Amino acid sequence: MMLQLSGVHAHYGHIHALHGVDIEVQVGEVVTLIGANGAGKSTLMMTIFGQPRASGGRIVFNGEDITRLPTHEIARRGIALVPEGRRIFSRMTVMENLQMGAVLGEEMNFEVDLKRMYLLFPILEERCQQRAGTLSGGEQQMLAIARALMSRPQLLLLDEPSLGLAPLYIKKIFQIVRELNREHGMTILLVEQNAHHALRVAHRGYVMQHGQIILAGSGRELLANPEVHAAYLEGGHAATAA
């Protein structure tokens, strides 16, 4: 077991955002978390990093209890996050953003990893001396993913990577998720509002509602589930088409 959350609670001020969440991610899996806006998906991702800190329950990564560790120590254990809204350093150059991502990596790996990122996202090489804030939304998302990968994480958390992107970029993002997993064996936890795409790429999925997991199953099962279909897929389709 790579990541295991058991009975995790979290509060944002007075708001009780997570009500005892249990999820697991195995080595080599793509696991997706779907649910409506405000269901607590992003909170869950941030709670894994202690932002906010879990107010109850346990988070175990590779056998170690990381529930009370400081945020940077959790990252050092080998988890990287592509956060909601990308949060790239807009006033720094593309290259500097990648260097920031590589802070945890070995110095000698930097050039190799940089080449790998340029291969995966050729646009970043063209723009490497440009300020990251001048990139388009899709390019910023590529940068956020590349920045996360620069630390060579064991587990990659992706929070709504397709949100607000043009269909071409959405396709590219899911292609990359698949490629990272199938070809590089990367373990991925993917939060998505685009349930249709997410469930197709994922081995397993969880459905979240009001801070709780209400349904779990393989990607295929959830795709076929009529409840899931009614609540998340038709809406998801409409959103993709629009």
Partner 1 sequence: MALALQQLINGLTLGAVYGLIAIGYTMVYGIIGMINFAHGDIYMVSAFIAVTVFTMLAGFGISSVPLSLLLVLLVAVLFTSVYGWTVERIAYRPLRGSTRLAPLISAIGMSIFLQNMVQLTQGARVKPIPPVLVGGIDLLTIDGFTVRLAYSQILIVFVTIALMAGFTWLITKTSFGRQQRSCEQDRTMTALLGINVDRTISLTFMLGAALAAVAGVMVTVYYGVVDFFIGFVAGIKAFTAAVLGGIGSLPGAMLGGLLIGLIEAFWAAYLSAEYKDVATFSILILVLMFRPSGLLGRPEVEKV
Our finding on whether 151 is near partner 1 (CB under 8 A) is: yes
204 binds partner 1 (CB under 8 A): no
In the region spanning residues 7 to 66, those forming contacts with partner 1, defined by CB under 8 A, are 49, 51
Q: Which amino acid is at 141?
A: Q
**Residue 127 binding partner 1, by CB under 8 A:** no
Output the six-digit token pair for 38.
């405000």
Interface pick for partner 1 out of 35, 40, 101, 211 (rule CB under 8 A): 101
Q: Quick one: which of 16, 36, 62, 104 contacts partner 1 (CB under 8 A)?
A: 104
Q: Is 115 left (phi over 0), alpha (psi -120 to 50) or beta?
A: alpha
Alpha helices in the chain (DSSP H): 41-48, 71-76, 94-101, 110-120, 122-126, 137-149, 167-184, 195-201, 219-224, 226-228, 234-241
User: Which residue in 37, 91, 183, 238 binds partner 1 (CB under 8 A)?
Assistant: 91
- Amino acid symbol at 191: V
Contacts of 199 (CB under 8 A, 6+ apart): 32, 34, 205, 219, 220, 222, 223, 228
Nearest alpha-carbon partner for 21 in 209, 222, 223, 229: 209
Q: If you ran DSSP here, which 8-state letter would residue 104 be given?
A: G
* 140 vs 225, beta carbon nearer partner 1: 140
Does 161 bind partner 1 (CB under 8 A)? Our answer is no
Report the nearest approach of partner 1 to the CB of residue 69 (Å). Answer: 11
Look up residue 54 and give its amino acid.
A
Closest approach, Cβ 174 to partner 1, in A, equals 23
Kindly state the smallest distance separating residue 184's Cβ from partner 1, in Å.
Answer: 20
Residue 233 Cβ vs partner 1, minimum distance, rounded to whole Å: 29
- Rounded distance between C-alpha atoms, residue 5 and residue 61, angstroms: 9
Cα distance between residue 122 and residue 124, in whole Å? 5
Question: Can you tell me which of 96, 123, 130, 237 binds partner 1, judged by CB under 8 A?
Answer: 96
Size of the site for partner 1 (CB under 8 A): 29
Residue 116 makes CB contacts below 8 A (sequence gap 6+) with 149
Residue 158 CA to residue 148 CA, distance in Å, equals 9
* 89 near partner 1, rule: CB under 8 A: yes
Stretch that binds partner 1, among 28-36, 130-138, 177-185, 222-230 (CB under 8 A): 130-138
User: Binding to partner 1 by residue 109, rule CB under 8 A?
Assistant: no
Residues that bind partner 1 (CB under 8 A): 49, 51, 70-72, 75-76, 80-81, 83, 87, 89-92, 96, 99-101, 103-104, 133-137, 140, 147, 151
